């Protein structure tokens, strides 16, 4: 049996803006919600906690620095790939470079030379259009030669415009149509729990796809079956193709929505390597619920003329000049340093 | 009418006492057998476990049954995720909802990825009856047949449905299994042949061939019996495997009979009729008459009333056979 009592300061509860409360002072707290649930005959899925194999949070400052530099290299790879391809999305992949770096180089249990290793952690990608960042991270991790990145979106390439397991099985899933990848991650996590498998399922997804009904179907399911071996990472960059998410279809409060759905909700700065690693660690060690990490990111991060600009959502640098200027921006940390060799 | 011995049909085909059962019941039994054959088989259901007959599986393997609630899109995508992780998921709902509502998820996560997603659409066709057009799925064959990698099965009775379910679990890749709501005659036997990709020639005849699927195969047999009285020898072909189609059997029927009638409880555009036309227009063009839904939706009524109104019963099939005879000259 579990009993949860949530107490909130009355001023906050009554008046989220923080202005003067109309209610009489003196009563400090008000009970907003409580949940009482009985589990006398627990269903099978409540009892299985996947074994922790490692603590991902252990990382030194110099290791963090190494990952930050690696993320910068991956951003340069992305811009070069996209310019060569002549089409594709810039903002999302740049914004997610730190998260993919942290995943592939610190968090995930995986073997690049043995991509079908049965106990590997599964990383699903739901917003397939940001796949260039995944390709770049995978190449740098050793899944395939870095040279192959220049074949992105070309005929005969394993690096399809949207990720395809038919061409590159180590991607785990095919995606592009929004909402499908997060549901598949839920299915994989459920199957892993059935089998008592030790691996964790991650899914990187966009904020825009929170507009898809299927996302919330899957959210209900994951909460019902207490998929503690599942972590969704939402790229909260506030943009989608037609503009800002809050103009297109307001999503806030995202945190409260997931909390109401019964998820363990974490919010992080999606560019802070240590934040990313700590949040994933908490996700892997949460017992009762699936975890969603709302990663606040800056679309186009690292290239000043792309940052926070919706028009860069769905296009690449248009020529070598634009590419050179973007790469220079990355190598000099936005002009903060003059030497381009970081 | 001469029934071929190799079809191994029941002895007294048109007995009034012939046993009837919905094809969904056969699926329910088949799924339990598939579950016993392979521990990877799991079943997911969108709030319709009793009427889709997944309940038998739930009782046999409670830990391998997954209740999804009314959420057909994630039903398909979550099942595909399970398939990626090594399971063989069967997803069951009414055909109007799955594959009616979740076609894109079936396309992307099931077919492009080519995983073991087995889609079971119950309550297909107009014989659903009183529920009306919203629940009478007639476009499902066309929707599923057009998808690369997909296998499409429409068994003719409960026994064949059981065999089709076991076969669907045993092959690699996505499968759509089309089932009916109403109790219909069981005219095959446990030893009747069933194989994915094969059609069975049930009766001997070289005047006209009837190619049918689902419960209407029985109406086709009745039509063949009535045609015999008119001096027309009809070859009845049961075609449960709409994709892959048994091209050899169908081309041979066109060559030897010279005219075809297709019979299905679905839209003829893109349905079995469409599939046969596509094949024969290229390989052996002959007159083809198609019985089924002609670009319209159903309505409420008893199954018998609806089958009569939409011209799918034996007397209508006889009429089509006579027209086909005329057309071939």
pLDDT digits over A37-64, tens only?
444 455 656 545 555 556 666 789 999 9
Q: What is the CATH number of domain A61-296?
A: 3.40.50.970
State the DSSP string of A307-322: TT-GGGTT----SHHH
Candidates B72, B139, B160, B264; catalytic one: B72
Q: Is B72 a catalytic residue?
A: yes
Cβ within 8 Å, pair A191-B105: no
Q: What is the CATH number of domain B2-18+193-328?
A: 3.40.50.920
Centre a 10 Å sphere on the Cβ of residue A24 and count the other Cβ atoms it contains.
Answer: 7
Nearest to A180 among B77, B83, B85 (CB): B77
Q: Who's near A185: CB < 8 A, 6+ residues apart?
A: A122, A124, A126, A173, A201, A202, A203, A230, A232, B81
CA closest to A162 among chain B residues: B108
Q: Interface pTM (ipTM) of the complex?
A: 0.92
Q: What is the mean pLDDT of chain A?
A: 86
- Rounded to whole angstroms, the maximal C-alpha distance in chain B is 61
Could you give the residue range(s) of every CATH 3.40.50.920 domain in chain B? Answer: 2-18+193-328
Which one of B69, B78, B102, B174 would you mutate to disrupt binding with A, by most A Cβ within 10 Å of its Cβ?
B78
Q: What is the sign, positive or negative, of the torsion defined by CA atoms of B307, B313, B317, B319?
A: negative
Could you give the residue range(s) of every CATH 3.40.50.970 domain in chain B? Answer: 20-185
Domains of chain A by residue range: 2-38, 61-296
Kindly state the tokens that stand for B239: 């075609």
Q: What is the sign, positive or negative, of the torsion defined by CA atoms of A170, A173, A174, A177?
A: negative
pLDDT digits over B211-248, tens only?
999 999 999 999 999 999 999 999 999 999 999 999 99
CA B97/CA B116 separation, integer angstroms: 20
> What SS3 class is residue B29?
helix
- Rounded to 10 deg, the angle between the A61-85 and A320-331 helix axes is 180
Cβ within 8 Å, pair A221-B105: no
pLDDT in the model for residue A43 = 61
Nearest to B69 among A124, A191, A220 (CB): A220
pTM, to two decimals: 0.90
Stretch among A9-23, A111-125, A140-154, A305-319 having the lowest mean pLDDT? A9-23
Kindly state the tokens that stand for A40: 């006398």
**Residues of A near B (CB-CB distance < 8 A)?**
44, 122, 124, 164-166, 172-177, 179-180, 183-192, 194-195, 197, 213-214, 217-218, 220-221
B20-185 fold: Rossmann fold (3.40.50)
Flag whether pLDDT at A2 surpasses 80: no
* Integer angstrom CA distances of residue A210 from A127, A299, B103, B106: 11, 17, 20, 20
State the DSSP string of B289-326: EEEEE-S----SS-HHHHHHHTT-SHHHHHHHHHHHHH
Determine contact, residues A173/A205, Cβ cutoff 8 Å: no
> What SS3 class is residue B151?
strand
Q: What is the sign, positive or negative, of the torsion defined by CA atoms of A322, A325, A326, A327?
A: positive
- Residue A27: pLDDT band (50, 70, 90) is very low
CA closest to A120 among chain B residues: B85
pLDDT in the model for residue A38 = 41
Query: Block means of pLDDT (10 residues each) for chain B, length 329 residues?
Result: 94 95 97 98 95 95 96 97 98 97 98 98 95 96 98 98 98 98 97 98 97 98 97 98 98 98 98 98 98 97 97 98 94
Nearest to A187 among B73, B80, B112 (CB): B80
pLDDT in the model for residue A21 = 41
């Amino acid at each position: 049996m579990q009993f949860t009592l949530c107490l909130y300061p009355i001023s906050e509860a009554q008046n989220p803006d923080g202005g003067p409360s109309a209610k009489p002072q003196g009563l400090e707290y008000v009970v907003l919600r409580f949940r009482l649930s009985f589990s006398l005959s627990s269903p099978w899925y409540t009892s299985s906690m996947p074994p922790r194999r490692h603590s991902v949070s252990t990382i030194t400052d110099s290791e963090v620095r190494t990952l930050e530099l690696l993320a910068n290299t991956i951003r340069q790879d992305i811009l070069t790939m996209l310019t060569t391809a002549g089409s594709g999305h810039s903002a999302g992949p740049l914004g997610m470079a730190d998260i993919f770096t942290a995943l592939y180089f610190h968090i995930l249990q995986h073997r690049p030379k043995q991509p079908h290793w049965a106990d590997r952690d599964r990383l699903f990608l739901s917003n397939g259009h940001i796949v260039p960042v995944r390709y770049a991270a995978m190449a740098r991790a050793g899944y395939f030669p870095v040279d192959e990145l220049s074949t992105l979106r070309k005929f005969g390439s394993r690096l399809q415009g949207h990720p395809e397991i038919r061409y590159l099985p180590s991607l785990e899933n095919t995606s592009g149509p929004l909402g499908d990848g997060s549901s598949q991650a839920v299915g994989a996590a459920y199957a892993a729990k059935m089998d008592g498998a030790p691996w964790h399922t991650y899914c990187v997804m966009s904020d825009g796809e929170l507009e898809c009904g299927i996302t919330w179907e899957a959210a209900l399911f994951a909460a019902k079956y207490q998929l503690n071996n599942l972590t969704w990472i939402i790229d909260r960059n506030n943009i989608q193709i037609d503009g800002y998410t809050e103009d297109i279809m307001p999503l806030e409060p995202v945190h409260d929505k997931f909390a109401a759905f019964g998820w363990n909700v974490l919010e992080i700065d999606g560019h802070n390597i240590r934040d990313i690693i700590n949040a994933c660690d908490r996700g892997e060690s949460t017992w009762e619920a699936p975890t969603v990490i709302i990663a606040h990111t800056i679309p186009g991060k690292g290239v000043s003329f792309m940052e926070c600009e919706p028009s860069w959502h769905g296009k690449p640098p248009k020529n070598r000049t634009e590419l050179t200027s973007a790469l220079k921006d990355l190598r000099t940390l936005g002009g903060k340093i003059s030497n381009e060799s970081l | 009418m001469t029934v071929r011995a190799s079809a191994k049909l029941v002895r007294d085909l048109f007995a009034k006492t012939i046993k009837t059962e919905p094809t969904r019941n056969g699926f329910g039994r088949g799924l339990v057998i598939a579950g016993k054959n392979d521990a990877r088989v799991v079943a997911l259901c969108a709030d319709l476990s009793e009427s889709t007959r997944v309940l038998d599986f739930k009782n046999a393997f409670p830990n391998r049954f997954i209740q999804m609630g009314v959420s057909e899109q994630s039903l398909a995508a979550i099942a595909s995720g399970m398939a990626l992780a090594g399971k063989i998921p069967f997803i069951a709902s009414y055909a109007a909802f799955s594959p009616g509502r979740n076609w894109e998820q079936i396309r992307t996560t099931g077919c492009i990825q080519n995983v073991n997603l087995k889609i079971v659409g119950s309550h297909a066709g107009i014989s659903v009856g009183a529920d009306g057009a919203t629940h009478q799925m007639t476009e499902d064959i066309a929707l599923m047949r057009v998808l690369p990698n997909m296998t499409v099965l429409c068994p003719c009775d409960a026994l064949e449905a059981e065999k089709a379910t076991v076969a669907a679990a045993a092959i690699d890749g996505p499968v759509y299994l089309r089932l009916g709501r109403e109790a219909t005659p069981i005219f095959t036997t446990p030893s009747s042949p069933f194989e994915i990709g094969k059609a069975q020639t049930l009766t001997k005849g070289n005047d006209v061939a009837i190619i049918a699927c689902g419960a209407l195969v029985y109406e086709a047999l009745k039509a063949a019996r009535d045609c015999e009285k008119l001096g027309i020898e009809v070859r009845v072909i049961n075609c449960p495997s709409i994709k892959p189609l048994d091209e050899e059997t169908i081309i041979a029927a066109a060559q030897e009979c010279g005219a075809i009638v297709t019979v299905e409880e679905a839209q003829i555009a893109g349905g079995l009729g469409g599939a046969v036309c596509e094949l024969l227009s290229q390989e052996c063009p002959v007159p083809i008459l198609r019985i089924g839904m002609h670009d319209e939706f159903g309505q409420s009524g008893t199954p018998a009333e609806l089958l009569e109104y939409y011209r799918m019963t034996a007397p209508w099939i006889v009429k089509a056979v006579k027209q086909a005879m005329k057309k071939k000259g």
